């Protein structure tokens, strides 16, 4: 491994291509820590946003008018405002209103730190889109299929669990993949509230080493590779789950 | 809570004081979004047509470029353009200055281009093959078929995703604040810095959210209406 | 790749770079003041979120101590002043690109920056690194920051030493307002900053900052410098600015500006005034 790192040192000395994230142990450590933070941020937000989407779509389909109005209000509010301002608003303004944890060594900690607020904001933002995606997926399940299951004596829970949701998920998977990929890209916004994700650490490195050009390219390649892998995986999943004769909504084939 | 009432009035007065300046910033958000959409649409249309070109030498690069700009985070592309584009361009005898907001516009137009390319490809490929075949049997050339038969039909279903993309774009314009363009978010931050009072945080950011909502929500409603109208009946 | 070939290649590259640099310096000995006067405008990168050195008023105009200095420079050259708000993380890149002619944006003097730009001597101000922290935390030594959340600015040169030497957890924001908000909210235990900024913040609003202090021993006294493009190291503009900076110290102009903007008197300005 050392040989590989040294090659980057040589690259700098011989060609002026300065990539301290590979040859300098401190920069390398923070770069990969940033990559890890981005991955954690993405996984947490994706999982939470899908959960929000499911609960929201279920509430929209329930009989309660209040629940429906609440969910619609949430969806409109988060879909029609910029995620960066949502993040600043939630972190700087709302975060200050929450109770605080007193620390043993003096001082206090906020209930949620920057990372947690980034997850909350990204999940709420992505979730607002997921609600709509799941709703349209559920609506697209053919009525005849539902009726057939009911005729076979399925109750409401089993109907959803075994018939509607599996079909709805397949129907809306392309749109869902699109949204989840977007969510991972949106995780760069956490930069603005000081969460040490990939963009943040890269900015620190280029400020210290004055190598904007090289760092920018490393950053682009890393993100495009990561997002490319994710969309590839999701496409494989779509193909594996495909049921002949069942169409999809949203997203492109 | 007389003091509280006084504070509330003070906060409103402060927001009012900064409103004209931040309002001007918001106009820049709109200007950036409109220009980036125009640039991204033209480039994306060309790229999308490239993606369905019959020649692999044209098709493969168009596909790669499309995927690249769809997969790169908007903020990273923005940083790239702001920090690495030159501050002016010389075209022949002309020297065109490139202030930060123009570079930001280009930075935002790039992902728009990638997404428009995908919308164009999807829209055209969604049309039945029979459209191509019947046009061919009427002795239309490929170009004639594309411009006179395919695109006129494909444009309507492309409209809702294109408008959705615009909504995503306008909501991405505050990202320009991170790279120092003086749009609404930047000016709000500057105002907060000049006022130096933490009780202004909530109302000022909230006002900014409301401004964006007031602009985006009607567009979203309109898009949803078009979507329903153009929906293909199953 | 064989070692010998690699070292030969690097020697070759070094020679090429050296040659390029020589050419660049030779070309650079031009009259860049003439170029600015021909343009009719001086573009200065300034801070717009760094009260009282550079901040905006409700009309959108940028004001502050550094803005007064920038205006004077433009007046002396007989050109219009255009100000571009910059951040700590992007100002050098803007200078390199030529988007700005001059950095006048609370920039500390570091070797890396000296390499990337032409730093003007003498410096117009100086400050070290210190922290703004709640009195109740009773900080005394830098070592006590280990494991503490410390707010900072993206791109500040002292972020790395504070994290590396004393184990502080640096949380860096794009601008001063965000970091101050986070500190006031108690999300950070301290805000690591230039000592001059901290001193002026503390006196700017004694009520609001009554519970805060600047407790550490200031380290790494760094000069604040103006900088022009690295290519114009021998240019007339750099010479002009060096003379002007000297005049400002000698005449007490900088001390007057400091007073005008309510900044606590800095020992640096006094010693420079006495020396010159």
Question: Is the CB of residue C145 less than 8 Å from the CB of residue C168?
Answer: yes
Say whether pLDDT at B21 is over 60.
Answer: yes
Q: How many A/C residue pairs have CB atoms within 8 Å? A: 81
Q: What structural domains does chain C harbor?
A: 24-124+225-275 (3.40.190.10), 128-221 (3.40.190.10)
Question: Is the CB of residue C149 less than 8 Å from the CB of residue C211?
Answer: no
What is the pLDDT of chain A when averaged over all its residues? 87
Question: Is the CB of residue A38 less than 8 Å from the CB of residue A112?
Answer: no
Residues in chain B: 234
In this complex, do A110 and C181 lie within 8 Å of one another by their Cβ atoms? no
- CB contacts of A80 in chain B (<8 Å) are 167, 171, 212-213, 216-217, 220
Q: Please name the residue of chain A whose CA is at the shortest distance from the CA of residue B219.
A: A80
Share above pLDDT 70 across residues of chain C, in percent, rounded to a whole number: 89
Q: Which stretches of C40-79 are assigned E, i.e. beta strand? A: 41-46, 49-50, 54-56, 62-63
ipTM for the predicted complex: 0.87
Compute the nearest-CA separation of A211 from chain C (Å). 10
Give the model's pLDDT for residue A247: 63
User: Which residue in C52, C90, C197 has the most chain B C-beta atoms within 10 A of its own C-beta, making it the best mutation to test that interface?
Assistant: C90
For residue C192, the surrounding DSSP H or E stretch is strand C190-194
3-state secondary structure of B93: coil
Residue among B21, B82, B83 minimizing CB distance to C60? B21
As a whole number of angstroms, the distance between CA C120 and CA C123 comes to: 7
As a whole number of angstroms, the distance between CA A202 and CA C155 comes to: 10
Residues in chain C: 276
Residues 6+ apart with CB under 8 A from C66: C46, C47, C53, C54, C104, C105, C106
**Token pair for residue A229?**
């892998």
As a whole number of angstroms, the distance between CA C108 and CA C161 comes to: 15
pLDDT, tens digit, for every residue of A32-66? 999 999 999 999 999 999 999 999 998 988 778 99
Give the model's pLDDT for residue B190: 85
Q: B1: pLDDT confidence band, cut at 50, 70 and 90?
A: very low
Tens of pLDDT, residue by residue, chain A (253 residues): 677 788 888 888 777 788 888 888 888 988 999 999 999 999 999 999 999 999 999 898 877 899 999 999 999 999 999 999 999 999 988 888 887 777 666 667 778 889 999 999 999 999 999 999 999 888 888 888 888 988 988 887 888 888 888 888 888 888 899 899 999 999 999 999 999 999 999 988 888 887 888 888 999 999 999 999 998 999 899 888 887 766 665 444 3
Tens of pLDDT, residue by residue, chain C (276 residues): 444 444 545 554 454 444 444 444 444 456 889 999 999 999 999 998 888 899 888 888 999 999 999 999 999 999 999 999 898 878 988 898 888 999 999 998 988 899 889 999 999 999 889 999 999 888 999 999 998 989 998 888 889 889 989 999 999 998 888 888 888 888 889 999 988 889 888 887 788 888 999 999 888 888 999 999 998 888 999 999 999 999 999 999 999 999 999 888 888 999 999 988
Question: Is the CB of residue C107 less than 8 Å from the CB of residue C230?
Answer: no
Compute the nearest-CA separation of B196 from chain A (Å). 14
- CB contacts of B191 in chain C (<8 Å) are 56, 58
B109 touches chain C (CB under 8 A): no
Q: Which conformational region is residue C204 in: left (phi greater than 0), alpha (psi within -120 to 50 degrees), or beta?
A: alpha
Give the model's pLDDT for residue C154: 86
For residue B15, give its domain range.
2-230
3-state secondary structure of A215: helix
**Chains near A, with 3+ CB pairs < 8 A?**
B, C
Place of tokens 């495909």: A242
Question: Is the CB of residue A76 less than 8 Å from the CB of residue B217?
Answer: yes
Residue among C151, C172, C178 minimizing CB distance to A204? C172
Q: Please name the residue of chain A whose CA is at the shortest distance from the CA of residue C94.
A: A212
Angle between helices A198-209 and A25-61 (to 10 degrees): 150
Average pLDDT over residues B122-137: 87
In this complex, do B209 and A76 lie within 8 Å of one another by their Cβ atoms? no
R_g of chain A, CA atoms, integer Å: 23
In this complex, do C51 and B193 lie within 8 Å of one another by their Cβ atoms? yes
Instruction: Provide the domain count of chain B.
Output: 1
Which residues of B make CB contacts under 8 Å with A?
A: 67-68, 71-77, 79-80, 83-84, 118-119, 121-122, 125, 167, 170-175, 177-178, 185, 198, 201-202, 205-206, 208-209, 212-213, 216-217, 220, 234
Please give the CATH topology (third level) of the domain spanning A39-96+111-241. MetI-like fold (1.10.3720)
The pTM of this model reads 0.82
- CB contacts of A10 in chain C (<8 Å) are 6, 10
Give the model's pLDDT for residue A64: 87
User: Which residue in B29, B52, B73 has the most chain A C-beta atoms within 10 A of its own C-beta, making it the best mutation to test that interface?
Assistant: B73
Residue among C57, C84, C94 minimizing CB distance to B194? C57
Compute the nearest-CA separation of C259 from chain A (Å). 32
Q: Which conformational region is residue C106 in: left (phi greater than 0), alpha (psi within -120 to 50 degrees), or beta?
A: left
Question: Is the CB of residue B119 less than 8 Å from the CB of residue B48?
Answer: yes
Q: Please name the residue of chain A whose CA is at the shortest distance from the CA of residue B77.
A: A220
What CATH number has the domain bearing residue B15?
A: 1.10.3720.10
- CB contacts of A200 in chain C (<8 Å) are 154, 172
- CB contacts of C157 in chain A (<8 Å) are 207-208
**Token pair for residue C105?**
């944006």
Question: Is the CB of residue C224 less than 8 Å from the CB of residue C119?
Answer: no
As a whole number of angstroms, the distance between CA A200 and CA A194 comes to: 7
């Amino acid at each position: 491994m050392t040989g590989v790192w040294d090659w980057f040192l040589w690259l700098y000395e011989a060609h002026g291509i300065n990539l301290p994230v590979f040859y300098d142990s401190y920069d390398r450590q923070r770069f990969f820590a940033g990559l890890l933070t981005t991955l954690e941020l993405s996984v947490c937000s994706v999982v939470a946003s899908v959960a929000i989407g499911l609960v929201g779509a279920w509430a929209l389909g329930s009989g309660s008018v209040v629940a429906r109005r609440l969910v619609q209000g949430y969806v409109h509010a988060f879909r029609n405002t910029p995620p960066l301002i949502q993040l600043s608003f939630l972190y700087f303004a709302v975060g200050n209103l929450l109770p605080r944890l007193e620390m043993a060594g003096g001082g206090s900690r906020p209930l949620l730190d920057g990372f947690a607020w980034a997850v909350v904001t990204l999940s709420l933002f992505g979730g607002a889109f997921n609600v709509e995606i799941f709703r349209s997926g559920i609506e697209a399940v053919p009525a005849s299929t539902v009726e057939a299951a009911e005729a076979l004596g399925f109750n409401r829970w089993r109907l959803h669990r075994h018939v509607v949701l599996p079909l709805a998920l397949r129907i809306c998977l392309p749109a869902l993949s699109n949204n989840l990929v977007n969510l991972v890209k949106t995780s760069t916004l956490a930069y603005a509230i000081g969460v040490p994700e990939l963009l943040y650490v890269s900015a620190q490195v280029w400020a210290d080493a004055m190598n904007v050009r090289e760092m920018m390219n490393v950053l682009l390649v890393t993100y495009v590779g990561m997002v490319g892998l994710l969309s590839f995986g999701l496409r494989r999943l779509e193909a594996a789950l495909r049921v002949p004769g069942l169409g999809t909504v949203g997203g492109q084939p | 809570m007389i003091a509280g009432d006084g504070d509330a009035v003070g906060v409103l007065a402060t927001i009012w004081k900064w409103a004209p300046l931040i309002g001007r910033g918001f106009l820049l958000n709109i200007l950036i979004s409109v220009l980036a959409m125009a640039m991204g649409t033209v480039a994306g249309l060309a790229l999308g047509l490239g993606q369905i070109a019959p020649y692999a030498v044209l098709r493969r690069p168009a596909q790669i470029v499309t995927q690249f700009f769809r997969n790169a985070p908007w903020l990273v592309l923005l940083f790239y353009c702001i920090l690495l584009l030159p501050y002016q361009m010389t075209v022949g005898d002309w020297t065109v200055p490139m202030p930060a907001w123009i570079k930001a516009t280009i930075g935002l137009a790039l992902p728009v281009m990638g997404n428009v390319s995908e919308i164009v490809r999807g829209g055209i490929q969604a049309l039945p093959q029979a459209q191509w075949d019947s046009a061919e049997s009427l002795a239309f050339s490929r170009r004639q078929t594309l411009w006179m038969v395919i695109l006129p039909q494909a444009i309507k279903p492309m409209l809702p995703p294109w408008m959705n993309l615009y909504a995503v774009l306008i909501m991405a314009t505050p990202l320009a604040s991170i790279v120092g363009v003086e749009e609404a978010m930047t000016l709000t931050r500057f105002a907060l810095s000049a006022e130096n009072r933490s009780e202004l945080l909530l109302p000022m950011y909230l006002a900014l959210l409301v401004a964006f909502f007031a602009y985006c929500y009607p567009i979203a409603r309109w898009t949803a209406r078009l979507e329903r109208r153009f929906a293909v009946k199953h | 790749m064989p070692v010998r070939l690699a070292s030969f290649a690097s020697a070759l590259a070094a020679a090429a770079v050296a040659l390029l640099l020589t050419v660049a310096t030779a070309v650079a000995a031009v009259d860049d003041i003439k170029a600015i006067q021909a343009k009719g405008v001086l573009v200065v990168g300034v801070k717009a979120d760094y009260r009282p050195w550079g901040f905006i008023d409700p009309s959108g105009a940028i004001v502050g101590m550094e803005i007064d200095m920038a205006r004077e420079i433009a007046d002396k050259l007989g050109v219009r002043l255009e100000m571009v708000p910059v951040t700590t993380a992007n100002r050098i890149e803007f200078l390199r690109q030529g988007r700005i002619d001059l950095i006048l944006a609370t920039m500390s003097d570091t070797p890396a920056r000296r390499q990337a730009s032409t730093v003007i001597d003498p410096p117009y101000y100086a400050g070290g690194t210190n922290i703004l922290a709640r009195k109740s935390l009773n900080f005394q030594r830098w070592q006590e920051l280990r494991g503490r959340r410390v707010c900072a600015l993206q791109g500040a040169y002292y972020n790395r030493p504070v994290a590396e030497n004393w184990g502080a957890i640096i949380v860096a924001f794009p601008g001063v307002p965000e970091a101050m908000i986070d500190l006031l909210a108690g999300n950070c235990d301290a805000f690591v900053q230039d000592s001059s900024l901290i001193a002026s913040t503390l006196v700017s609003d004694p009520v609001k900052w009554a519970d805060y202090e600047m407790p550490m021993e200031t380290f790494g006294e760094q000069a604040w410098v103006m900088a022009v493009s690295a290519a114009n190291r021998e240019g007339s503009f750099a010479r002009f600015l060096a003379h002007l900076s000297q005049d400002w110290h000698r005449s007490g102009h900088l001390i007057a500006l400091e007073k005008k903007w309510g900044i606590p008197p800095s020992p640096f300005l006094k010693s420079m005034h006495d020396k010159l």
